[in-house]
Amino acid sequence: MAAEIRKLNEAQKIAITVYGDGDYKWLLDEADPIQKIKNENLGDGLFTFLMVELDSFDGGNDLEVAHYRVDRAINDLHVVANALAQTLYSQTYQPC
């Protein structure tokens, strides 16, 4: 049996359109963009993470949930950035 073709949800389409100045907009024209994202090395782990995190089969089909997930990821990245800055510079990272 062939694998089910999974379409992009609204949150993924928005992210693809704006991420990296549109570097991945070509995925909007793919027949099975989810499979392509998960099975190919696109060279950008953060982009792949976003697409998986926003995947509708994991509860990310609602824009409110999608916003929460991205916001949570940003907060987690800030924690890591702070820890790195403290180690490197003995000071707290201050985001722009």
Does residue 94 form part of some domain?
Answer: no
H-run or E-run covering 57? none
- Within-domain flag for 30: yes
The 8-class DSSP code of residue 2 comes to P
In a domain? residue 66: yes
d(C-alpha 12, C-alpha 51), whole Å? 6
The domain in which residue 59 lies consists of 10-89
Which pLDDT tens digit goes with each residue over 9-65?
Answer: 899 999 999 999 999 999 999 988 888 888 888 889 999 999 988 986 555 568 888
Please check whether residue 52 lies inside any domain of the structure.
Answer: yes
> Residue range 59-84: average pLDDT?
88
Q: How many domains does the chain have?
A: 1
- Size of the chain, expressed as the number of residues it contains: 96
